[in-house]
Structure 1
Amino acid sequence: MRRPALACAAVVLATAALAACGSSADGNGPEAAGAQRPAASGPAVPGSTATTSTPPATPTAPAAPTAPAAEEPEVTAPDATAEGPKTPSDEITPATGTFSKPQKEYLTDRVPRGMDPAAVLQTGQETCDRLRYLVKADRDIAVAAIVTGEVADAEPAVAHLCPRHQDLVDEAALGYPDGTHTGAALRPGRYRAPSPTKDCAWRLTGAKGKELAAGSSDTGRPVSLTVPASAATFISTGCYAWLPEGATR
């Protein structure tokens, strides 16, 4: 099992690998549909120098340092959940070629007006690629990354672009990230934290705040707990993610 730091490192490495690959192994990338990746560029800030002119008897002041060139603006992933009008399905077309049926289904109601649909598709395909790399490293890391939201928007991407990872999404839907969970969100059963920190602690309470169980771990090793049917609140800190035990693997 891995530690949370390893989980985060795996996500970073996966992202770096994607930049090197430039395409998806699932065959649903925007390039396959004729869609082009957006390019970004930014103007450089001209360098400037400054000197002070003085009489010959007075030393000349040193030149001011040249202003550094401005960094190019970062291209951020489009927010398909943002409020505002979306492009109608029959108007969603790439610059060249066509989208496949699964790609078109993924893009439906997800492309903001004025947004390049290829850019929206690219975010979904990158989600699939990240899951593919994480599964190779450690399946529990992949599921936990979905539970915690480190791999965001996984459900629609998997449903339409990489359905072979549906088991990861199904298991993650039954897990818990760190935080406070109450009421209908609680599901009785046995859970494991595969990669907790050394500050992992949890607490289960029932009606009127009565403590049912509590525990902690300073070893960083996997830990387990049982959520009873009488639990009303489950609080977890430093445990990263709890996955259901006995889930189909």
Structure 2
Amino acid sequence: MHVRSATASAALLLTAALTLTGCSSSGDAKADAAPASPKPPAASPAPDPADASASPATPDPDAKPTGPVLPDAKLTPKTGSFKENEKKYLSGRVPEKTDPAAVLQTGQESCQRVERTAKRDKDAAAASIIAGEVTGARDAITFLCPDQKPILATAEKGFADGSRANPAPGTYRALTQTTTCTWEAKSKDGGILASGPETPPKPGDRITAAIPAGTATFTSTNCYAWLPA
């Protein structure tokens, strides 16, 4: 009886072991057979320049807040007082719950950057304004550092690298040191009126663009900014 009982127990254990092994093998086989997750596309399509959502407009650095702002009567620093020109700069520019002194400091830093750059290179200072690298340059110069108005006046004659609709005809110079600057002028129907540079520029060469009358779109790449030649 004892021998037969032990033999039966061993058989049951062997059957259970085989069943578990089969289940495990089946699970592994299913896992191995499971299809791999689909890979993401190698690259996304380039945005269409004509799609406004793909190329949002650059915000105006001189634009004032659209939300509630501090009234002029409350434009007071924690200590001392603002000068009259500083008050004019801050008027309508300080959002509620914002320290007016912090906003003023931003304008002063813009002035300092233009002033430092202009001492070395006036064209570079104008280019930094044209390219939008100096925050709120127009109002900062107008109210806080009016001695830099000649630089601002120069900048307002130019335009930034990229695409420009209906540019004024004439000859313009690129404010860049790179030799990879290229440009193209197209008519309303998309025909190429002019392009350049005609010959590969050498380091130190000034790149110019002659924009003919009737140009509907002027597009440049790696040219930073343009000023009348």
**Percent identity (aligned):** 44
> CA offset at residue 168 of structure 1?
1.2
Secondary structure of the residue aligned to 2:142 is: helix
* Of 132, 142, 145, the match for 1:162: 145
Which residue in 2 is equivalent to 1:88? 71
1:239 matches 2:223: yes
Judge which range, 117-126 or 212-221, deviates more: 212-221
1:202 matches 2:186: no
* Of 85, 97, 104, the match for 2:87: 104
Secondary structure of the residue aligned to 1:83 is: coil
- AA of the residue aligned to 2:94: V
Which residue in 2 is equivalent to 1:20? none
Structure 1 or 2: more helix by fraction? 2
* Of 117, 120, 131, the match for 1:134: 117
1:113 matches 2:108: no
Judge conservation of contact 2:65–2:92 (CA < 8 Å) in 1.
Answer: no
Question: Which whole-Å CA distance do the structure 1 matches of 2:202 and 2:70 have between them?
Answer: 51
Which of 1 and 2 has higher RCO (CA within 8 Å, sep 6+)?
1
The verdict on how the C-alpha distance between 1:239 and 1:196 changes in structure 2, with shifts beyond 3 A counting, is farther
Judge conservation of contact 1:80–1:111 (CA < 8 Å) in 2.
Answer: no
Task: Give the number of the structure whose alpha-carbon radius of gyration is greater.
Answer: 2
* Of 148, 154, 174, the match for 2:131: 148
Judge conservation of contact 1:106–1:160 (CA < 8 Å) in 2.
Answer: yes
Question: Which whole-Å CA distance do the structure 2 matches of 1:80 and 1:143 have between them?
Answer: 19
> CA offset at residue 196 of structure 1?
4.0
For structure 1, which runs of at least 5 residues remain unmatched after alignment? Answer: 1-78
- AA of the residue aligned to 2:192: E
Which residue in 2 is equivalent to 1:222? 206
> CA offset at residue 138 of structure 1?
0.8
Which residue in 2 is equivalent to 1:44? none
Secondary structure of the residue aligned to 1:146 is: helix
For these two proteins, the number of residue pairs brought into alignment is: 165
Question: Which whole-Å CA distance do the structure 1 matches of 2:214 and 2:64 have between them?
Answer: 36
Please report the RMSD computed on the Cα atoms of aligned residues, expressed in angstroms. Answer: 1.7
Q: Normalized against structure 2, the TM-score is what?
A: 0.68
> CA offset at residue 100 of structure 1?
0.8
The verdict on how the C-alpha distance between 1:97 and 1:142 changes in structure 2, with shifts beyond 3 A counting, is same
- AA of the residue aligned to 1:204: A
Judge conservation of contact 2:164–2:218 (CA < 8 Å) in 1.
Answer: yes
Secondary structure of the residue aligned to 2:125 is: helix
